[in-house]
Amino acid sequence: MIRVIIERHIADDLTEHYEKAARNTLQQAMSAHGFISGEALHDATNPSHRYVIVTYRTIQDWQRWYSSSERQEMMAAINPMLATDEKITVLEH
């Protein structure tokens, strides 16, 4: 089992639009092979600083989702809302 932390900084005044797009992306990820769980969080002192934490069965399952056309399509909508590139950290036990 692995955990993936996706860190994003949302551009000014785009938080509401980001929320909708991120929610759609997480819903799509839930149907991906090997997906176990996921949650979206924000920094308590900076609401434009977001984290998505997902759990996948294997790193191969994560890589399959990461490179899928579904995620690429969702990220095409999210990327213009980001102040910086997303940072992804993959953790394993």
What domains sit in the chain, N to C, each tagged with a CATH number? 2-92 (3.30.70.100)
Of 60, 52, 59, residue with least CA distance to 90 = 59
Amino acid identity, position 93: H
Burial of 37 (0-12, 13-18, 19+ CB in 10 A): exposed
- In the beta sheet, which residues pair with residue 29? none
User: 32 — phi, psi (to 5°)?
Assistant: -70, 145
Q: What is the pTM of this model?
A: 0.91
Distance CA 42, CA 54 (A): 14
pLDDT tens for the chain, residues 1 to 93: 999 999 999 998 898 899 889 888 888 899 999 999 999 999 999 989 999 999 999 999 999 999 999 999 999 999 999 999 999 999 998
Residue 31 burial (CB count, 10 A): 9
